[in-house]
Structure 1
């Protein structure tokens, strides 16, 4: 049969009204047009679908079967339309978001939760990357958007500050410097350090700052993760420099103290980064708006430092 959705709606309107005239009006068709379409439907079916009476119509057995399946088809069509609209409005699908470690472990969980509650059919895939890796992925078109440090250069991309995330000096609780309100980087260059692994973007930044101050860090051991670094500091092996969010996350378990650093290069911020707002998917725009991105306003210029 070559029925379309309009044919099914007309047939159901006539069946439910018990009248071709009333059914045509409900389907917003002229009586002559509706009668002709019903005749074509019956011809296509090869059997009568309506019993015509002086005061209306009733369904034949074949007509009742058509009405039953027509209802199912129209219900499925409505369900399909609703699901497609959910994708279009960002309420369904899978969203891929790239984020550095600090954003992924402390910032995003609190911010994502209330947004996801309103979108029960939307999935989010979080990808942990360094800030430099995120910028490279964005430039290559491999990522739609990311949350990264403002300390990494991101020429050609848009960045919007979403949170403060300064670097702090992490110390064992009993360390002689633990009671200080704030310290300059040069004040601690003589300490033994727990550092991050070679090639880590944050560690490269710290090493560069030490070199510019005319010193080299006294590194006792290098760790691949912030977890390992914080654990080593807690055991009194040395001191470390980490984002404030990381220090807060581990301070109770590791018995460490975080002291703010005064230097301008340590005053990092987390930024949402992407190429073009209009090129973002609907759910990504929704999420970034929830995080505080306001694309209609001139984006805040962020300072760049050597590597995050």
Structure 2
């Protein structure tokens, strides 16, 4: 295998007409340049240039190798430009993982900000269940993912580096004309006689409701199982029952439902929204930039509607 650096030195010597000029261009001493050419000649088994009183002249083998070397140099310069463009976020693709609630709340603003600052970098988003997102992180199918957990299913994976972005409290969803709105917060124990709308298919928020109600001393009576939060809101508005949901899931709240916070006697669980990447891979510039945008957006949410929801004053 030929030493690429020696081939590139030969190219410089061919173009500049002397080893001294080639050495100066490459930042090495003339004696070091001469030694490297001698080693290259030993590698190929024949002379590559004639040393003249003034400069050098390439042999046929030297001209053939120098021509190939120009192609190698051009490709290396192209590779350097590609890497530089990726470092400066002028090209490339960032692969993100997310879940529906985050995709409908935190992610859009972060994507918009990222695209405005780095129009040359493409982003692709894969929305999936928690287990699928974890698998995609480990396999490298996504470089960065938004995840979530509750206190009873904390994510603890040493292969992942996770940042806690924001707390997402559980809120109560009631009709706009509900008598429950007379109080700024509601005790779960007071809701024992209510009909409940839950998420179907063993959705995590259904487990949140059941755990919370059992702590308050009752089993919830289920009147409807919905398949998304918009459907749940519609059934609440229609009077079929009340529901619980993470605050971020209700960013697009219907006009005919209201949100209430819970009293602290039996606090409803709060989930953590996490940003994760694999610990063994150094973050790319694109991953670092998007992480910053997501942290900024999370802070924006925490300081506005989400905070008011925690105080039980979102109407």
Specify if TM > 0.5. yes
Aligned partner of residue 258 in structure 1, secondary structure:
strand
Query: What's the secondary structure of 1:251's corresponding residue?
Result: coil
Give the deviation of 1:207 after TM superposition: 1.4
Asked if the contact 2:212–2:269 (Cα under 8 Å) also holds between the matched residues in 1, the reply is no
1:33 & 1:210 partners in 2: Cα distance? 80
Q: Conserved in 2, the CA contact under 8 Å of 1:102 and 1:245?
A: yes
Contact (CA 8 Å) 1:10, 1:34: kept in 2 or not?
Answer: no
What's 2:258 paired with? 257
Q: In the alignment, which residue of structure 2 is the partner of 1:210?
A: 213
Structure 2 residue corresponding to 1:248, chosen from 248, 251, 272: 251
C-alpha deviation, 1:148, in angstroms: 0.5
TM-score of the two chains, using structure 1 as the length reference: 0.68
In the TM superposition, 1:124-273 aligns within 5 A as 124-130=124-130, 133=131, 137=134, 146-154=146-154, 156-157=156-157, 160-178=163-181, 180-252=183-255, 255-263=256-264, 265-266=267-268, 268-272=270-274
Q: CA deviation at 1:153?
A: 2.8
Give the TM-score taking structure 2 as reference length: 0.67
What secondary structure, in the 3-state scheme, does the structure 2 residue paired with 1:153 have? Answer: coil
Tell me whether 211-220 or 52-61 shows the greater mean CA deviation: 52-61
Q: After superposing the two structures, state which structure 1 stretch, 211-220 or 29-38, moved more.
A: 29-38
Single out whichever of 280-289 and 174-183 deviates more from structure 2. Answer: 280-289
| Matched residue SS, 1:194 | strand
**How far apart are 1:103 and its partner, in Å?**
2.6
Q: 1:157, 1:274 within 8 Å by CA — same for their partners in 2?
A: no
Farther off after superposition, 11-20 or 116-125: 116-125
Change in Cα spacing, 1:64 to 1:119, as seen in structure 2 (3 Å) is farther
Partner SS for 2:6: helix
Question: 2:30 matched to which residue of 1?
Answer: 30
Residues 114-150 of structure 1: CA deviation (Å, up to 9, x unaligned) = 45654844655434325xx479x57x96798652134
Whether the 8 Å contact between 1:87 and 1:93 is mirrored in structure 2 is: no
Asked if structure 1 preserves the Cα contact closer than 8 Å seen for 2:170 and 2:244, the reply is yes
Deviations 1:90-125 (A, max 9, x none): 98566453x454333212333354456548446554
Instruction: Structure 1: state its 5+ residue gaps.
Output: 294-308
SS at match of 2:222: strand
Instruction: Give the distance between the partners of 2:279 and 2:32, measured in 1 at CA.
Output: 48
Contact 2:174-2:243 at 8 Å conserved across structures: yes
- Please tell me whether the aligned partners of residues 88 and 282 of structure 1 are also in contact (alpha carbons under 8 angstroms): no
User: For 2:219, what is the secondary structure of its paired residue?
Assistant: coil
Equivalent position SS for 2:185? coil
CA distance in 1, matches of 2:239, 2:201: 22
Conserved 8 A contact 2:208-2:269: no
Contact 1:166–1:268 (Cα < 8 Å) also in 2: yes
Work out whether 1:102 is the aligned partner of 2:101. Answer: yes
Cα gap change, 1:36 to 1:247, in 2 (>3 Å): closer
Q: 1:124 to 1:45 in 2, by over 3 A?
A: farther
Distance 1:157 1:25, change over 3 A: closer
> What is the CA distance between 1:151 and its match in structure 2?
3.4
Listed one character per residue, the Cα deviations across residues 145-202 of structure 1 (whole Å, up to 9, x for unaligned) are 6521343332744765311311111122233334542222223332222211152222
Which moves more between the two structures, 118-127 or 170-179?
A: 118-127
